[in-house]
Amino acid sequence: MQKQENIKIHETAFVTSTFRSMNENLSQDFFSKLWGNEKTEIWIKEYLKEVSSEETFAHCLRNRYFLDKIREVIKTNNIEVVINFGCGLSMYPFLLDEKLVNIEIDKAEIIEYKKSKVDIWQTTGALPKRNIHFIGVDLSKDYEQKLLAKINSIKNNRPCFILIEGVLFFLNKEETNKLFDFFNLIQNQGDLIGSASFQESLKETLAFKKLIIFFGGNVSKTGESDYQTIQDEYYRKRKEYKLIDHQDYFSLSKKYEHKIELEKDLILNENFYLLEKSS
């Protein structure tokens, strides 16, 4: 593969999955290795060398955190449905209780691909059977009415957990506001949102500058203004929601006993938020 070949946004899903498979003990994701392929391996090698070598652990810890949190709230909040917006190739349905209903949402091309592979792997026994509804949607387009009808017919007003990780970086403010309003529309009191995003201060780090150089040469987006960051206040000030947990790479490393090797400036520190609908 030539380095100047562009990585498409949906292809970042392969990169995320491969990172998770590189330390299964930390990520607790024993299925993401199924997505492994040579092209992604090459991206990953370059990415770890040119951007930040902590990225493997960052992605493993993110998966671990949300996996543990979803397991927890299934009990505390009686969650029955998990809706993953921009699900990419993540494997939560197969890692979580089989009683759950899973709604997997992403761009049509990734959803079609994921569904076709999952169907094959469930037939061969490589993946356990799960209740999954795949929905292809572009979150930067007009989707609300149709998606609302689809989700309502599946969810049937049952308690739900919404996950949005690795996606907001690629959306703009307006699209993000629309999405959170949409979450509010489909959720009831006691339902939860798990969200991952970067803070504005990330842009001052050397790791981010390296990322922009890497993406500039390798991804279709080029300028740093293309990448959305979100401040804590965005989550704190949501009228209908209460922020009940906030972690980042450093706190999760402590929690899951991962020893950080690099200095702060060389780490893409992602923040993780858990919101509970209060009214």
**Interacting residues with ligand SAM (CB under 6 A):** 9-10, 12-13, 16, 86-88, 90, 106-107, 110, 138-140, 165-167, 170
- Least Cβ distance, residue 93 to ligand SAM (angstroms): 12
Which strands form 241-248's sheet, in the order they lie side by side? 131-136, 101-106, 81-85, 160-164, 192-198, 270-277, 241-248
- Least Cβ distance, residue 182 to ligand SAM (angstroms): 12
Q: How many helices (H) and strands (E) does the chain have?
A: 11, 7
**Nearer to ligand SAM among residue 122 and residue 140 (C-beta):** 140
Q: Which residues pair with 160 in a beta bridge?
A: 81
**Nearer to ligand SAM among residue 100 and residue 196 (C-beta):** 196
**Nearer to ligand SAM among residue 88 and residue 125 (C-beta):** 88
| 188 within 8 A of 152, measured Cβ to Cβ | no
> In this structure, what are the phi and psi dihedrals at residue 248, rounded to the nearest 5 degrees?
-145, -175
**Nearer to ligand SAM among residue 54 and residue 165 (C-beta):** 165
DSSP letter at 200 equals G
| 274 within 8 A of 69, measured Cβ to Cβ | yes
- Least Cβ distance, residue 239 to ligand SAM (angstroms): 25
**CB closest to ligand SAM, residue no:** 88
Q: Which two tokens stand for residue 12?
A: 């970042």
- Least Cβ distance, residue 183 to ligand SAM (angstroms): 14
- Least Cβ distance, residue 196 to ligand SAM (angstroms): 7
